[in-house]
Amino acid sequence: MERLEKVNNSLTEMAEKKHPFLARLLDHTFSTPGKNIRPAITLLASNFYPHDERNTEKMATGVELLHIASLIHDDTVDGAMLRRGKMTISSLWGPKTAVLAGDYIFAASATLVCDTGNIRVIRRFAETIMELSSGELQEMAETYNPEQSMQGYLGRIYNKTASLFTTAAESGAILSGAPEACSQSMRSYGHNLGMAFQIVDDILDFDGTEEEIGKPIGSDLANGVVTLPTLIAMQRRSCCDAVKRVLANPDDEDLMKEVVSLIQDDSVLEESYEFASRYCEKALSDLSGLPPCPSRDSLEELVSHVKVRRN
């Protein structure tokens, strides 16, 4: 999409403007474009009503920048060495620089969103940053805790992932001057797509191969993070005890292997995929009131992409 290219171009230009050290950091960060799913949602959601496209492009750039900033802090917090096959800021320049570079990019994203001049969208954007960080904080606070509810899990993944999808979609509609009902449908679409996206991500941690997901199988559980497949497996009594044992003894590698294979059970994974599918169905139904057009087709394709994605 041509407009998505403009978003990537503004990221590159941003890197060129700043003082030398910051320019090198930003250049490193922006030189490998990601999958751009979030800014694509903003742009597609804005395509149903004619409007000043510069505003929605700024918003889309802000959305991608916010995502990048949160990845930089996540990588710093996790001590991750690689991201998209490249060294992370934290591994190249150290965690101190990474924390501050993340702060800078958070603020740069907010500045871009301010330039849209739409206060509703700006406030929603600031709330999204609160939701992202509180989602990560909740996840950390609940590691190795065997008493977790489905509701707690869903609230957490809304905060850490679906929140930004929701804002990406809703803000595209709002900034295009869409009627309130359309903005609400887009908001709901973003929410449902984001939930499905994170659930599939959590399933792939058990169902992918190491090569596909770029980390060892079952690494969420090994790090004490309880996700949907584990919660579903825990509904079977025998498995529940095993999960609780491994959360209390995460260094017992044999037990960990055993528990991971219990979770990899076909019926557990199938039930997990069904859970994601229900969110996908809801996302498609959110689009049903929109006029058929290439943008609607693309939004539908994003849903199928989430359902089948393998990384």
The residues that touch its own copies, with contacts defined as CB under 8 A, are: 18-19, 21-22, 25, 70, 73, 76-78, 95-97, 99-104, 106-108, 110-111, 114-115, 117, 119, 122-123, 126-130, 132-134, 136-138, 140-141
Rounded (10°) angle between helices 163-175 and 180-207: 150
Q: State the nearest-atom distance from the C-beta of 253 to its own copies, in Å.
A: 24
Please name the residue that has the structure tokens 């990560």: 136
In angstroms, what is the minimal distance from the CB of 26 to its own copies? 11
Task: Say how far apart CA 218 and CA 205 lie, in whole Å.
Answer: 5
Q: In this complex, which beta carbon is closest to its own copies, that of residue 115 or of residue 281?
A: 115
Nearer to its own copies, 60 or 303 (CB): 60
Sign of CA dihedral 89, 18, 103, 153: negative
* Residue 105 or 231 with smaller CB distance to its own copies: 105
Name residues whose C-beta falls within 8 Å of residue 160's C-beta, 6 or more positions apart in sequence: 131, 132, 135, 136, 138, 139, 198
Nearer to its own copies, 114 or 256 (CB): 114
Q: How far is the CB of 288 from its own copies (least distance, A)?
A: 33
- The smaller minimum CB distance to its own copies, of residues 4 and 164, is found at 164
Query: Rounded to whole angstroms, how far apart are CA atoms 39 and 43?
Result: 6
Handedness of CA 269, 272, 276, 282 (dihedral sign): positive
Question: CA 134 from chain center: how many Å?
Answer: 14
Pick 119 or 308: Cβ nearer its own copies: 119
Beta strands in the chain, from DSSP E residues, in sequence order: 82-83, 86-87
In this structure, the number of other CB atoms found within 10 A of the CB of residue 95 comes to 16
Q: Residue 178's Cα: distance from chain center in Å?
A: 25
Length of the chain (residues):
311
Residue with Cβ nearer its own copies (122 or 276): 122
Q: Smallest gap, in angstroms, from Cβ of residue 219 to its own copies?
A: 16
Q: Locate 111 and state its tokens.
A: 């500045």
Query: Least distance in Å: CB of 234 to its own copies?
Result: 22
Question: Between vectors from CA 80 to CA 306 and to CA 226, what angle results, nearest 5°?
Answer: 55
Instruction: Report which of 311, 286, 250 is spatially closest to residue 299, judged by C-alpha positions.
Output: 286
Closest CB 119 distance from its own copies, rounded Å? 6
Between 82 and 137, CB nearer to its own copies: 137
Closest approach, Cβ 88 to its own copies, in A, equals 14
In angstroms, what is the minimal distance from the CB of 97 to its own copies? 6
Q: How far is the CB of 20 from its own copies (least distance, A)?
A: 8
Strand partners, 86: 83
Q: What is the DSSP letter of 148?
A: -
Nearer to its own copies, 47 or 128 (CB): 128
Largest CA-CA distance found in the chain, in angstroms, rounded: 59
